[in-house]
Amino acid sequence: MSNGSTREITVNISEDQTIIDLSKKIQPFQSQIFLKKIVRGNPIEINLKSFLGLITLNLQNGDTITVRVVGEDSEQALEAVVDYLT
């Protein structure tokens, strides 16, 4: 079983999707989940379980981000995040 996965995606979410919904979706996973985005020319990587980090990224449709997941259930966690954000 893999203990880490990474995927680059383009954000495409509807207006009714919220940070709170995403937080609920990832709670069952033991893995650490990180999102990385270039903000004003600087790469910023945040822990997805951090609301403040999510606010800092200011995700918008069309943003290209890297999802990095580390842990025993990384593949399942990665798929859940990708499904939600795309």
| CATH number where 10 lies | 3.30.1340.10
Q: Which domain holds residue 60?
A: 4-85
Strand pairing category for 4-10 and 64-70: antiparallel
pTM of the model: 0.88
Q: Which residues contact 9 (CB under 8 A, 6 or more apart)?
A: 64, 65, 66, 67, 82, 85, 86
User: How many domains is the chain partitioned into structurally?
Assistant: 1
Question: What is the per-residue pLDDT across 14-59, written as a single tens digit (0 to 9) for each?
Answer: 989 888 888 889 999 999 999 999 988 999 999 998 888 888 888 8
